[in-house]
Each structure stands twice: as structure tokens, then as C-alpha cells.
Structure 1
Amino acid sequence: MSPIPTFTFATTAEEVATALSAEIRGKNVLITGTSLNGIGFETARVIAKHANLVIITGYNDQRLKLSEEAIKKEVPTVNIRRLNLDLGSLAGVRKAAAEVNTYSESIHVLIHNAAAAIGSFKLTVDGLESQMATDHVGPFLLTKLLTPKLLASADASYTPRVVFVSSGAHAFGAGVDFNVIEKPDPKTYNASVGYFQAKSANILTAIELSKRFKGAINAYSLHPGVIFTNINQKEESIPEMQALGILGPDGLPNKEKFDWKTIPQGAATYILIVNRSVFVLMLFDSTVAAAFDPRISDKSGAYLDNSNVANESVAPHSSDPANAERLWTVTENIIGEKFEF
């Protein structure tokens, strides 16, 4: 067997999936947030070429069908299943988890990719701020409810994985504000800060999950890279992206401030038409590596950047064990049940 190559900024998801095909083969993977032109879709697309089962999720079944059709067109033999999942609703999460728990298959990898739009203050049906609900609380509950399915995939040579797509932007903020998670305040809300907090919560959850499961489940968080995806294109998100300097005044990617993935660094390129302009969506690789790279099997709780462990890149507030434990307890209180196994 050829040794697994070193992954770099220029490595694509396609290349990582090919290099790790033996690890992906036979696995059942559930990926949240898989609409076309997004990170989750691309993850599903490259994994589908090798996996036993890929479960794609989203709250809009029509968009899910488009993703399913696109993947089937490229990989006719794929075993793919759609799952309606509204992460902004605790009842919706419970309904989706109940459906998954009727499946005969176990789950080897759970990838939390979905994220709410970075926009104006919104409350969910459960009275939570939408970004924290969709990016953290919903995924926390889903992981809790699917833990039996994950543990069922374990054997003497395999440990199931949970992957949280976070962001290097977590370091721009001051960490999770525990005073407003349960009682969000529209007067103090800032869309960008809400995003930073949600991404910090992803990292802290991976750390605490890893600690509590003591090797029964491996958890990782990651920075996927600066990529022009559909979350950057939502009308309500564009002003925030411009305020952060991620997008320029013209709504185009700011290439002076950030290192964007380039065409040669993508194994495939998707052309997007937004506001009469043509943009390029590049591929990424950290998600696939976090889900399958055997070289990080003994590094549960790690944060990845460019497919490599980069714990030194995590801000102190998002690597503090006390914050991780506190967040876990607060989130258990929100969902109304203990996350134990």
C-alpha cells in the first residue's frame, strides 16, 4: 500500500479522498448541510465515490434532491439517502435522529457542516439565537441522539468519528458568551460576533466530546479554508462579509486580505451566477482528512487546518478545558437531557 501523502494548502478534497479511499471504503457517513455550491455538498460528492452509504441532509427537500441528482449523475452507483433535518429546531433534530435510528446501518462518521446565515438577529422556535442554535445546539443534540449508531460502527480496528466544521474566524472574537446562550439579547447581538461564538463552540464541543468518550468516539474540529460558498452569497450575509473584509465593496472575494483557494488547487470547479457576476467555488480538503485520515486517530480533540493538526492556531478561549466543560453543561440544560453513554 502506498504511503499517504502530506496534505498542504494546495491539496484538494478529491486528492485527499483518493489518498484515503481505503479508509472511506465500506463506511457510512452522515453530512449536514449539503446544498449545491456548499462545502457539505463537495464533501459528499468526493466521499460518495468510495463510501458504502452517504446520508445528505438539509431542511429543504427540493434542494436536497438537486444535490442527490448531481451526485448520482457523477457517481451512478452511489448509495445515497436524503434526510430532512432542521438544525434550528430541537423537535426537528429529534425527528430526523429518530428516522436515522430506524436505519439498519450504523454510522461511522458524522460530519457537522451546516451553518446558519450570518445576518440579523433571529430567534428559533426554541427561543435560541439562530447561529448558535444551528451551528452548535442542534449538532450537539444530533450527536447525542445518534451516539448509539456511532458506537455500533466500532470494532477492534475502527473508532467512529464526529467532525465539526469550525473556522479560523473563531479567534476574531472573545469566545462563547455564556450569559446569552440560553437567553439571547437582541440589544447586544452582533452578527459577526455571533458567528465567532458559534465556531468557538464547535471547537470546544470537539474537545469535550473527546474527553468524555475516552477513545470510544474520536472528535475533531477544523478550519476549511477561505472559500466562496453559498453562505457568503446570501443577501443578509454579504454586508457582514464585507465588514470583515472577506468580500470587497463589489461583493467579490477579497484576494488582498485572504488566501483563497485557486483553480489549480481545486480538482473540480463550479461556476456560480450571483448578482449577475460569475464566481468560482474551490474545493477544500480538511473535512475529508478529519473524517478519515488514520494518522490522526490518536489525536482526538484536535483542530485541523489544511488537513493537518494545528492546535496552536486555536485561540485560548476556545481551547480552555473549563470553557469546554461549561459549554457542555449549559447545552445539556438547553436540550433538557444529559449527554451520556
Structure 2
Amino acid sequence: MSFPIFTFDTTADEVATAFAQQIQGKNVLITGTSMNGIGFETARVLAKHANLVIITGYNTERLALSEEAIKKEIPEANIRSLILDLSSLAAVRKAAAEVNAYTEPLHVLIHNAASPGGKFKLTVDNLETQMAVAQIGPFLLTKLIASKLLATRSASYTPRVVYVSSGAHQFVPGIDLNTVAHPDPAKYTSGGGYGQAKSANILAAIELSKRAKGRINAYSLHPGVISTNINQKEESKADLIAAGVLNPDGLPNTTGSIRWKTMAQGAATTLVAAFDPRLEAKPGAYLLDCVEANDKIAPHASDLDTAAKLWTVTEEIIGESFSF
């Protein structure tokens, strides 16, 4: 079977149409699905084809709005809402217990949620918020519901875990493993925190694929530069204006070198990572503009020694080992 060649301009709907057969019958969980975000667009498009789409968020009202919007457009969609606050390990455990109580197995887990930058902020577990939401919470969630993913494995199917990372991982020199467990406000900058968190996503995909040994395949990706709800949060707006990503009025800067994607284009690479059969032989791959782009990973984010150490540090933080 031949599949289309995807590009920068490819939309999520185009990807879903190309892989409709692969998506059919699948159960997918997506974190961070508030409206006006790429997680919502991913869920909306998948709802047209998948057996079950589990949408998550920490805000009950916003989650209800997302479910309502999808069901209004696609009445036959099978949508299930799950309250999930990735900044709290206790909340992650509660959500995971709920997922494990579902009668259905899980084919794909998409880690899409991100925390806006801004000033140094600790979670209830005394972790830096951006790293907690991007790496530590998702690590614990994956560990706790891994059996749900493994239950879908067969001779013809390998379950997938997808991490929505960012090209911004290249703007930091590396991950300070000491501050992952012991955050230091003196070493923190908003952009640095974001870059380290997104570097962690890439390392997590590489290490998870390595340890799973073909039982689960993990991928990471840069979705592109998209004007989403996170850009408009006060915590992140000032940094984006300072970096020239947004104009002083808070709107996208379209006059510079940045090529902006629409929401539909922004969600496309996530769907490729989740369903493209051509990636089956490339576990741990990093995607850009809907294709594998391992050559675009900064050296610190593809270092196997760092990936293994980050895994161990995260195990120590959650107080559990994660092995297959």
C-alpha cells in the first residue's frame, strides 16, 4: 500500500484520511485538549475515524467545552472526558486508576499537554512546573497505564506513545539533571525551562522505545509554530513578545523568518507519529513537518547516556521503577 508524501502544508484531516484504515477501531488518549490548541484539533480529527477518543484536562469546564464542540460537529463520535492534572503526581495516579478501570485497551497515548512558561513555579510535589507537566507527569502516566497499551499489541500492531516536543529544544545547551529533581530558581529562565522540558520529551521517546524492545514504539515531534491558546496566556506572552515570536500587541509576528502553521497543519505531525505505518521501523524517531527528521535533533537531546540518566532520575522522583 502506498501513502502520500506529507509536507509543511499537510493538514491533520489529510493525514487522518490517508490513515483512516489504521485509525479505525483504535482507542486513543490525548492530554491537553482545550479548545484553540493542537491537542483539541488532534482529538477533533481523530473523532471522525477512531473507536474511542479520550480527551483530558485539569479544568472541568474547559474539558466539557471541548467534548461539547466535538460532539456537536461529529454526533457519532465516541468521546470520553478524563480529568488529568499532570502537575500533581497524586492527580496523575488518580487519572491512571480511572483509565485502568476502562473496559477498553489503549492503542495510542499522545502526550500533548504543556505548561506555559513565565516565572519559576513549583508544583505541589516541589517540582518545576514545565518539567513536571512535560516529563515527570507523563512518565508516571505512561508507566501506570502501560499494561493498557501492551494489551493491544499483536503480530500486526505495535502500540504507540507520542510526545509533542518542540524545535525550541535546540535553544538550550542540555538538560541539567540535578534540577529535574531539585529545581533551582537561580538557574531557571522561562525559555530555558521550556527548552529543557521539550528536550526531555525527545529523550523520553528514545529511551522508552529502547527499553520496550518492540513492544511499544515511541516518537517525538515538533508541530511547528502555531498560534494556540498557550501563546495567549499571560505567563508565556511576555517571553514570546521578547523573542519576537509575537508582536508587542500579542499577535503572531508574520514579518520575520518564522513560518506559521494553521491549527490544522499544526496537528498533522502528531497524527503521523501516531499512525503512519512507515514509522514502524523507526522507533524513537523525531518528526518535523510530518516526516522523520532525526538530523534535526540537537546533540544533547539524542544522547543515549543522558536519556538513560533522565529515565533513572524520573524513576527516583516518582518512587517507582518503570521496566518492561
TM-score between the two structures when normalised by the length of structure 2: 0.98
| 1:313 has 2:296 as partner | yes
Instruction: Write the distance in 2 (CA, Å) between the matches of 1:226 and 1:340.
Output: 35
Give the deviation of 1:283 after TM superposition: 4.2
Partner of 1:258: 258
| Structure 2 gap ranges (5+) | none
Which of 330, 338, 341 does residue 313 from structure 2 map onto? 330
Partner of 1:298: 281
Give the deviation of 1:250 after TM superposition: 2.2
Matches within 5 A, 1:223-238: 223-238=222-237
Q: Alignment partner of 1:57: what SS?
A: strand
Instruction: Write the distance in 2 (CA, Å) between the matches of 1:13 and 1:52.
Output: 18
Residue identity matched to 1:5: P
Give the deviation of 1:201 after TM superposition: 0.1
Residue identity matched to 1:158: Y
Instruction: Write the distance in 1 (CA, Å) between the matches of 2:17 and 2:103.
Output: 27
Q: Alignment partner of 1:180: what SS?
A: helix
Q: Alignment partner of 2:85: what SS?
A: coil
Give the deviation of 1:132 after TM superposition: 0.3
1:224-265: CA deviation from partner (whole Å, max 9, x where unpaired): 000000111101111111122211222121221300025xxx
Partner of 2:128: 129
Identity %: 67
Instruction: Write the distance in 2 (CA, Å) between the matches of 1:288 and 1:170.
Output: 21
Instruction: Write the distance in 2 (CA, Å) between the matches of 1:99 and 1:199.
Output: 27
The count of corresponding residues between Structure 1 and Structure 2 is 323
1:82-133: CA deviation from partner (whole Å, max 9, x where unpaired): 0000000000000000000000000000000000111111100000000000
Residue identity matched to 1:261: K
Q: Alignment partner of 2:235: what SS?
A: coil
> Any conservation in 2 of the 1:11–1:284 contact (CA below 8 Å)?
no
- Structure whose residues are more often helix by fraction: 2
1:279-337: CA deviation from partner (whole Å, max 9, x where unpaired): xxx64310000000001111000000011000000000000000100000000000000
| 1:70 has 2:53 as partner | no
Runs of 4+, deviation exceeding 4 Å: none
CA RMSD of aligned residues (A): 1.0
Instruction: Write the distance in 1 (CA, Å) between the matches of 2:158 and 2:243.
Output: 38
Partner of 2:217: 218
Instruction: Write the distance in 2 (CA, Å) between the matches of 1:84 and 1:41.
Output: 15
> Any conservation in 1 of the 2:224–2:266 contact (CA below 8 Å)?
no
> Any conservation in 1 of the 2:225–2:266 contact (CA below 8 Å)?
no
Q: Alignment partner of 1:304: what SS?
A: strand
1:28-52: CA deviation from partner (whole Å, max 9, x where unpaired): 0000000000110000000000000
1:46-69: CA deviation from partner (whole Å, max 9, x where unpaired): 000000000000001111110000
